[in-house]
A and B are shown apart, each in its own frame.
Chain A
Amino acid sequence: MGVIEFHRLSKTYSDVKALDDVSFTVPAGSVTGFLGPNGAGKSTAMRILAGLSRPTSGSATVLGRPYAELERPGYDVGTLLDASAQHPGRTGREVLTLGAMMLGLPRTRVDEVLELVGLTGKEGRRPVGGYSLGMRQRLGIGHALLGRPRALILDEPANGLDPQGIHWMRGLLRDLARSGCAVLLSSHLLHEVEQVADRIVMIGRGRLLAQGTPAELGRGRSLEQTFLELTAAADRGLA
């Protein structure tokens, strides 16, 4: 059984099918790369998973339960859905402090997390409005990790990270998976996920195109070729 499970998930906005019968699971101790072009439905699926949006049909669960039924979700699942969604006048440290307060964690956890994501004390005292996108991603990842959750939902966390930042994030996610965490990581760029993901789920136009280990999906060809062919086929299918 997966820690995160999507079961026949569909979401329709007026006449657009954002998600069409999507099913897959994210097992404990793995990094699952959720791959698809922009507008494929990745964010929609992750927001439904986090209880922020309602599915038209089907279900998404964390630890076997719909998100809204988790008593204190911050301990079960860490989420980073949009690193830019922050009050610009709040400092990075304050954002983490509010999260720590809600989870009933000591303030020392804020310092630990700042250090873990590589934000200096000085950077932590600056308003988020002055942060680069990469710094916001680090802050968002730190916020997701506050409660040492068993699952992580990260929507495009590599956006805005510099090469060192991406390297750092890969190491962090691998360590987390090794310690048993189930990581769901979305990206529209194959090379961002193929080096860190144990499993890859490809999605296009709201439909699941393929899933498996990078080796299974490549089948001797390059993974990129598979990805491009499948997404092109999905686009043709719609036209």
Chain B
Amino acid sequence: MTTGRIPFPTLLRVETRKLVDTRGSKVITGVLAVLTAGAVVVRGIASGPELHTAAVTAGIVVGILLPVLAILTVTGEWSHRTALTTFTLEPRRGRVWAAKCLPPLVASVLACVFAMLVAAPVTAAVAAAQGVPADWRVALPALAGWTATTVLLTAQGLALGTVLMNAPAAIVVFLSNAVMWSVVARLGSAGEAATQWLDLNTATIPLVNGTMTGGDAARVAVSSLAWIVLPMAAGMVRTMRREVG
């Protein structure tokens, strides 16, 4: 008989498998891959053969769909009440949650790599078709910043899903964020400042552009604290304390 706790890699494998082991999750993953590749192709054709532009366009798709997938992952145990079996096999809920949150974060990095891999042949093909030289220049700081931003947005989805424990609520909050902040930004200088410091999307613009300054980094940190660290901390407290029924 095996003794000792379930090894963390095993929990990771189980939670990763849960991402793609139902028809619904397979469809989402498929849609994600198709839309990511599609965005790269369409942008490549529209804007000409520029590798960086084509790849980063995929970030718009990835930055919305991966956080939604992340929300569905962390709320699924509650909405389908599978927490009943999951937490009886591993009562240390924090370990389960860590195993649940890591795969979407890794998937965010992989999605960015995937976008680059699709963008390269698209750039070459567009250059050949339009008879113009391809622009292969890639700004590494911008590429790293874009990847980091995608990871942050997925983390925001995980945090919102964990604290709200309800997929529709978390998805609405996540998607209405941009609208809400565009309104706040118009509320005079105070609203503008609040948007710069508290809206993750606004704060990460310099990160995506690869033009980070010290002040920009502080704004990314503060908005991440507000939208990732604090909700995740509150969500973990709720998760640990919740009576499962």
B residues in contact with A103, CB < 8 Å: 2, 6, 89
A73 and B81: CB pair below 8 A?
Answer: no
B244 and A47: CB pair below 8 A?
Answer: yes
B130 interface hit (Cβ, 8 Å):
no
A51 and B6: CB pair below 8 A?
Answer: no
A182, B21: Cα distance in complex, Å: 34
What are the 9 tightest A-B residue pairs by CB atom distance, in nearest-first order?
A: A89-B22, A85-B81, A52-B244, A87-B80, A53-B243, A85-B84, A68-B91, A51-B91, A79-B88
B residues in contact with A102, CB < 8 Å: 6, 10-11, 14, 89-90
Q: Count the A residues whose beta carbon is within 8 Å of the partner chain — how many?
A: 35
> Interface size for chain B: under 10, 10 to 19, 20 to 34, or 35 or more residues?
20 to 34
Shortest CB distance B95–A (Å) = 11
Closest to A70 in B: B91
What 0/1 readout, one digit per residue, does chain B (198-217) give for beta carbons within 8 Å of chain A?
00000000000000000000
B177 interface hit (Cβ, 8 Å):
no
A residues in contact with B10, CB < 8 Å: 101-102, 104
A104 and B2: CB pair below 8 A?
Answer: yes
B137 interface hit (Cβ, 8 Å):
no
Closest to A104 in B: B2
A98 and B245: CB pair below 8 A?
Answer: no
Shortest CB distance B240–A (Å) = 11
A216 interface hit (Cβ, 8 Å):
no
A143 and B13: CB pair below 8 A?
Answer: no
What 0/1 readout, one digit per residue, does chain B (124-161) give for beta carbons within 8 Å of chain A?
00000000000000000000000000000000000000
A86 interface hit (Cβ, 8 Å):
yes
A199, B17: Cα distance in complex, Å: 42
A125 interface hit (Cβ, 8 Å):
no
Shortest CB distance B156–A (Å) = 24
A100, B90: Cα distance in complex, Å: 13
A143-B21 in contact given A53-B244, A85-B80 (Cβ < 8 Å): no
